[in-house]
Amino acid sequence: MAALAGCGTTADRTAAPAPTKAFHWTSSAPLISPQPAPDQTIYAVKDPSIVNVNGTYHVFMTTAGSVGWGLAYTSFDKWPDAASAKIVPLAKSPMGPGYRAAPQVFYFAPKKTWYLVYQGSDPLYSTSKDIGDPMSWSAPQPFFPVVPDIVKLPQGHGWLDFWVICDDRKCYLFNTDDHGRLLRSETALGEFPNGFHNTVAVMTEKTEDLFEASNTYKIADTNTYITLVEAVSPQGRYFRIWKSDGLDGKWEPFSSAPMNTFAGRDNVEQLWSEGISHGEMIRTNADQTMTIDPCRPLEYLFQGNDPAVHVADYIKLPYRLGVITAKGDNPVSALCR
């Protein structure tokens, strides 16, 4: 007798594979590396943010050089073209020179405007109407008129690596502090980029277990959000992953791997780097919802460094950018409908 629809036989249920609860990846070679600059030595390219618009990748990054930290831009249509694509410093745009790092780029659909979020001493943003024109970015503007008390020394530890994501009511700004805290601020969608307030700690762990470079996404066609935060181990940097049913909700581990690992030395094949550090998911759209498609193989653009190169000065660590691609099923792909 045929089994009833949706029930299956005992043998069928026994044979069905259990949903995977961990991630596995394979790595590209380094794809984006420093290029010669007329005014300084560029040691590293870091902290990438990426969107794909009409078939073209747009990548923003931190440059680490002999005159300090800055932001830069490159674009290309296919990954084999990334290495030869020109990297353009943004210091000559209206954004101007000075300390800038850790960019995040997205299209804010309600205002039909591109936003570039980055860190100065505090969270800053610039805007553009043309993501393909690196000279179009506006002068920096602060998100906060006054630094929140939770961030100020001595009770706070400063803030860095800012990340904006919005739902249909509010925009949230997440950041880390290199001391084991993930912080969140909020504003109404209609007030963005103004009005951020209510800065609170939403996760607190040991410093090395919740370090920096948080990035948060919505999984398409679900009510699930994921957040990734970089951690530090003796084997190098790696990312951990949590999930929530809302940007203002509680974050719970989203991997059964030790330390709810998302990506690191233990689960990335062909890895040329000491670990997996500051990066961003390659998303299915470019807007403020930060949506990823669970039905497509996950790709993550990351910064990595050669484990054989040891330097005392952090700015001289030879970071390069590469891509890891998910292999097989994982907790995100399990949500594909």
| Residue 123 to residues 136, 140, 148, Cα–Cα distance (Å) | 20, 10, 12
Q: What is the DSSP letter of 54?
A: T
Q: What is the pLDDT of residue 19?
A: 55
Share the mean pLDDT of the chain.
93
DSSP helix/strand/coil, 106: strand
Closest residue by Cα to residue 36 from 91, 86, 93, 90 = 86
Cβ 91 vs Cβ 101: under 8 Å: no
Low-confidence winner among 19-33, 68-82, 102-116 (lowest mean pLDDT)? 19-33
Q: Is the pLDDT of residue 36 over 60?
A: yes
pLDDT of 1 strictly over 70? no
Instruction: Encode pLDDT of 20-33 as tens digits.
Output: 789 999 999 999 99
Sign, CA torsion 231/29/55/46: positive
The average pLDDT across 254-281 equals 97
pLDDT beyond 90 at 3: no
Handedness of CA 17, 23, 28, 29 (dihedral sign): negative
Mean pLDDT of 270-298: 97
DSSP string, 217-266: EEETTSS-EEEEEEEEETTEEEEEEEEESSTTS--EE---SGGGEEESTT
- The answer to whether 85 touches 77, Cβ cutoff 8 Å, is no
> Average of pLDDT values for 84-108?
97
For 46-63, the pLDDT digits (tens) are: 999 999 999 999 999 999
Q: So what's the pLDDT on residue 121?
A: 87
Give percent of the chain above pLDDT 70.
Answer: 94
C-beta separation of 196 from 230 below 8 A: no
> SS3 of 276, please?
coil
pLDDT at 16: 41
Q: Check whether 5 has a pLDDT greater than 90.
A: no
What tens digit of pLDDT does each residue of 183-227 get? 999 999 999 999 999 999 999 999 999 999 999 999 999 999 999
Cα–Cα dist 107/90, whole Å: 18
Structure confidence by residue, pLDDT tens digits, 132-181: 999 999 999 999 999 999 999 777 789 999 999 999 999 999 999 999 99
In the predicted structure, residue 38 carries a pLDDT above the cut 60: yes
Q: What is the pLDDT of residue 105?
A: 98
Neighbours of 269 (CB within 10 A): 11
Distance CA 148, CA 143 (A): 11
Q: What per-residue confidence (pLDDT) applies to 333?
A: 97
Cα–Cα nearest to 59, from 299, 314, 333, 305: 299
Residue type, 298: L
pLDDT number for residue 17? 46
β-pairing verdict for 113-119 and 101-108: antiparallel
Domains of the chain plus CATH, in order, are 29-335 (2.115.10.20)
Q: Which helix (H) or strand (E) holds 178?
A: none
